[in-house]
Structure 1
Amino acid sequence: MVLIIITGGQVTPEIETPHSATILDVKRGIEERLNVEVERQTLWLDEIMLQDEDIVGNYFPQRYGVLRLSVTPLPGEPKCIIWVRYKNEHLGFVRIRETIMVVDLRSKIERRWGILSNMTLFHLDTEMIDDRPLSAYYNREFCS
């Protein structure tokens, strides 16, 4: 088995896979963990773009490895639905583009619900940083 650490965004998932698995298998694992469609994923080992049919063990004969994930933006910059919860209470949702900055999402939440700016935003148990785009957190579950 190989433990693959996926970098590229603010969320860094780990995926365990057999040496005999293909890069496509790894992408399917990423889709399962991050909700990023396989077709939008490109995996890189240093400056080498890996192909779906490549075998994991050819790149990582050892027990772990690091791959960088880049995600193709959705065409037309559609708006995404972001569900907002505050102190374990579901407030509702906002529609916002995946390319906007976290600080802009924070402002929209403040305006809509009057929540103070000292709130902390999380996605997939990762604290979101204001000067990063939402896309850095693979927040694409509800984009259309």
Structure 2
Amino acid sequence: MRLARRPTTEIVEGDMTPMIDMTFQLIAFFMVLINFSDIEQDQRVNLPASQLAKPPDTAYEEPITIQMTADETILFNHQEMGLEQLRTAVRREATLLRSFGDSKFDEATVVIRADRLSRTGKVQEIIQACQDAGFDKFALRGRQSDVPTL
């Protein structure tokens, strides 16, 4: 007696739930680890290279980023401005931080990213404008380099 096999027309599919679950876990993992500090950086600013430049050990509590391009255009809060406009904007920022309490203002660090071709005197004017508004913590940015600069 011969038994005939019936052809199976049933489609076998794998369960995709574990793969989707793992994908969402990886997305969540990388979202936690991503560094959002690059958001404040403008590509028009070409930082000077220095052997002493290194990233900060910890993130700043209240960073205020001011950038200056090679043609000495000042970028603050995603707006192009001159020095007098910066003075007004920095005073407004200081007033806003003081309204949250002295601790916010005391923790504020002004991060200055100036292009390597910009004049040092202009950077000093930016620092002076920030000091006039009451800020006293500053950080200057540069690119890391293995070439000795001293």
User: What TM-score does the superposition give when structure 2 sets the normalisation length?
Assistant: 0.24
The structure richer in helix per residue is 2
The structure richer in strand per residue is 1
Higher relative contact order (CA 8 A, sep 6+): 2
Q: Which has the larger radius of gyration?
A: 2
